[in-house]
A and B are shown apart, each in its own frame.
Chain A
Amino acid sequence: MTVQALLLLTSGLFCIGIYGLLSHRNAIAMLLSTELMINAVTINLVTFSQFSGGVTGQVFAIFTIALTVAEVVVGLAIVILLFRWRREIAVDSANDLRH
């Protein structure tokens, strides 16, 4: 287990998340892809925390997890509101400001 292997793993995870974010039109699927990307970042923080021997990275990882929970709560509330408005959650249908 090396830092390099871990970084390769997390960058792979991050890029899969980016692919999911770019290729979906369903808002919940996009939220799931965001979760994947944040997960990759958290693994990276823990890796560098162990690598530098301190506790800072783990504290930041805890903050990241808590922020993710807040993001999911607000994001899902917005998605449910979007569903009540439009009866669907495809993000490209929510273009009222354009008209």
Chain B
Amino acid sequence: MTEALPFFVLAALILLGAVRVVASRDLVRAVLWLGVVLVLTAVMFLMLGAPFLAGMQLLLYTGGVITLMLFGVMLTRRHHEMGVEIDNSRRLPAALGSAALFVAMASAIVRTELPVWSSPIPVPTVEIGRAILTDYLVAFEVLSILLLAAMIGAIVLGRQRDFDEAPEPLLEKEGRR
């Protein structure tokens, strides 16, 4: 039991951070709490014997995604709506639904016979690299094409010129109605 204590502390911290992500009124705070959750997840990967994944998680998520999210929050915020409600009016049904889903999943997990394994063996990074470049080579190449497509898509969506041409009729229509 005592060797499992760090795991339970870590799990409690992750869940606490996740609750703060969805409960924060301020979006910047929510993004920073998400960063906490993602860093703690990297620690969890280390405990699970996946050091390479922990590094990937830190580099890509906390380095890339959190920064992008902060930019997104700050670009889409105006000063006079700092206190605007970010929730919709269906908080109680949402809470009930997700709690019901959790109860269903948890009861299924508790009833299933799962083996107990004590100490995870770290997987050497060489194995992962070999698996990616042999068994999963096609998926890996498709993934690189997908990343390229996402990059081009983001550039096309973010271009200012297209915006100036396209939505003007929309705004006029809004004004007439």
Q: Which residues of B are found within 8 Å of A7, using beta-carbon distances? A: 109, 114
A50 touches B75 (CB 8 A): no
B75 touches A80 (CB 8 A): yes
A36 touches B22 (CB 8 A): yes
Interface residues in A, total, Cβ within 8 A: 70
* Chain B residue at smallest Cβ distance from A84: B163
User: How distant is the Cα of A61 from the Cα of B149 in the complex, in angstroms?
Assistant: 21
Fill in one digit per residue for A52-65: 1 if any B CB lies within 8 Å of its CB, else 0.
Answer: 00011011011101
B98 touches A15 (CB 8 A): yes
Fill in one digit per residue for A10-39: 1 if any B CB lies within 8 Å of its CB, else 0.
Answer: 011111111110111110110111011001
* Chain A residue at smallest Cβ distance from B119: A1
Main DSSP-derived SS at the B contact region: helix
Q: Which residues of B are found within 8 Å of A78, using beta-carbon distances? A: 157
B34 touches A23 (CB 8 A): no
If the complex has contacts A7-B109, A43-B44, A65-B61, are A26 and B146 also in contact, measured as CB distance less than 8 A? Answer: no
Interface size class of B (residues with CB under 8 A): 35 or more
User: How distant is the Cα of A15 from the Cα of B151 in the complex, in angstroms?
Assistant: 30
B157 touches A5 (CB 8 A): no
User: How distant is the Cα of A1 from the Cα of B64 in the complex, in angstroms?
Assistant: 30
Binding site for A on B (CB under 8 A): 3-4, 7-8, 11, 14-15, 18-19, 21-22, 27, 30-31, 34, 37-38, 41, 44-45, 47-50, 52-53, 56-57, 60-61, 64-65, 68-69, 71-73, 75-76, 78, 81, 85-88, 90-91, 93-95, 97-99, 101-102, 105-106, 109-110, 112, 114-118, 120-121, 123, 127-128, 131-132, 135-136, 139, 143, 146-147, 149-151, 153-154, 157-158, 163, 167, 170
Given contacts A16-B22, A61-B50, A70-B150, 6 further A-B contacts (CB under 8 A): A1-B120, A16-B19, A22-B90, A29-B27, A50-B120, A81-B157
